[in-house]
Amino acid sequence: MPEASLLDFSVFNPRRLDEALSLLAEEENVVPLAGGTDLMVTLETGNLSPCRFLNLMGIAEFQEPFSWCDGKLRMSPLCSYRDTRIDKDVATRYPLLVRAAREVGVLAIQSRGTWAGNIVNASPAADGVPVLMVYDAEVELRSTSGTRTVPLCDFYRGYKEMDRASDELVTGIILPPPPEDRIEYFRKVAPRRLQAITKVLLTGYLLRSDDRIEDCRIVLGSVAPFTLRARETESILRGSVLDSETIKAARAALQGEISPIDDIRSTAMYRRNVAERLLDEFLLSASPESH
């Protein structure tokens, strides 16, 4: 079959959000386009069905990457990894965002790639989504009929399946302030330090009072059909004393809720093994003896 040519594609260039939402509501086959770091690759490799792109870059309401409201951080759908790396306030309050941002591709990708694009691209190997999930991010979706928010950890339904209607646009990512005194963890395992796609990623935080775990978040990449918040593992940990018995139980819970596969980047067995070791490393680093 001949590859699709550019003739199969066209572009809407709205300047305002209401224009963009009307186009999404009224036109068929419209695909929102932010930095293009995923869509341009799909387009160039001939793997994209004919469509009309909705170019979000010119939308006036999206130009400021960050805003703060009632102590919450709001990220514009055009907020890039680079924007995040250079914002001192964001780096101080949400350090994991910067940890993840600096490991997405390389500088020339980080300057164009967006967090919102990472969310809707819905790759199980997404590097931006896990840290957003750790911080209890909410996805704001808007259409001509209204606005709603969905917790990011409930946004995915299956492989590349999302709680987003075709007329809805991601118009913001909202992050509440995370708890004080938490111990954070982020580790991406890939064949190289940069410009590499994740084999296994584990990130989270743990809040401890003495040796008891008050609260925690554990999120993994590349071990399930979508970015996985390990709720079972979290519930084992929450309220428990952080000791070797708890760690053992957490490992077992983790093995029960991940479902890694063999693919071109790794094997299910390797991913299970590494996921467990990352959990170990996280929990040991958060244990009273380490602090």
Partner 1 sequence: MTEPLDRMTLTLTVNGRTIKVAVHPMARLLDILREEIGLTGTKEGCGEGECGACTVLMNGVPVLACLTPACQVDGAEVVTVEGLAKETLHPIQQAFLEEGGAQCGICTPGMLISAFYYLEHPECAENLREALAGNQCRCTGYTKIFSSVRKAAERLGKTIPEV
- Please identify which residue in 41, 60, 252, 284 interacts with partner 1, judged by CB under 8 A: 41
Instruction: CB nearer to partner 1: give 57 or 284.
Output: 57
- Please identify which residue in 44, 64, 161, 245 interacts with partner 1, judged by CB under 8 A: 44
Cα(68)–Cα(88) distance, integer angstroms: 14
Bridge-based pairing of strands 212-221 and 228-229 is antiparallel
Q: Which residues of 248-261 are buried (b: 16+ CB within 10 A; e: fewer)?
A: eebbebbeebbebe
CB of 111 to partner 1, least distance (A): 5
Residue among 172, 182, 176, 179 at smallest CA distance from 73: 176
Which part of the chain contacts partner 1 (CB under 8 A), choosing from 52-60, 171-179, 180-188, 270-278? Answer: 52-60
Torsion from C-alpha of 9, 125, 183, 250, nearest 10 degrees = 140
Instruction: CB nearer to partner 1: give 57 or 252.
Output: 57
Beta bridge partners of 9: 51
Helix H, strand E, coil C: the string for 121-183 is HCCCCCCCHHHHHHCCCEEEEEECCEEEEEEHHHCEEECCEECCCCCCEEEEEEECCCCCCCE
Instruction: CB nearer to partner 1: give 167 or 276.
Output: 167
CB of 52 to partner 1, least distance (A): 4
Q: Does 32 bind partner 1 (CB under 8 A)?
A: no
Count of Cβ atoms closer than 10 Å to residue 98 Cβ:
19
Which residues in 167-226 contact partner 1 (CB under 8 A)?
193-195
CB of 61 to partner 1, least distance (A): 17
Element (H, E) at 30: strand 30-33
Looking at the chain, list the stretches that DSSP marks H as alpha helix, in order from N- to C-terminal side.
17-26, 39-44, 81-86, 88-93, 95-101, 107-110, 115-121, 129-134, 231-237, 244-257, 268-285
What x/- string results for residues 109 through 128 when contact with partner 1 is judged by CB under 8 A? x-xx----------------
Which residues in 242-281 contact partner 1 (CB under 8 A)?
none
Instruction: CB nearer to partner 1: give 182 or 188.
Output: 188
What x/- string results for residues 73 through 112 when contact with partner 1 is judged by CB under 8 A? ---------x-------------------x--xxxxx-xx
Instruction: CB nearer to partner 1: give 44 or 89.
Output: 44
CB of 53 to partner 1, least distance (A): 7
Instruction: CB nearer to partner 1: give 5 or 290.
Output: 5
Q: Which residues of 210-237 are buried (b: 16+ CB within 10 A; e: fewer)?
A: eeebeebbbbbbbbbebbbbbebbbebb
Which part of the chain contacts partner 1 (CB under 8 A), choosing from 4-12, 128-136, 159-167, 237-245? Answer: 4-12
- Please identify which residue in 3, 10, 256, 269 interacts with partner 1, judged by CB under 8 A: 10
Residue ranges binding partner 1 (CB under 8 A): 6-7, 9-14, 19, 23, 26-27, 33, 36-37, 40-41, 43-45, 52-53, 55, 57, 82, 102, 105-109, 111-112, 193-195
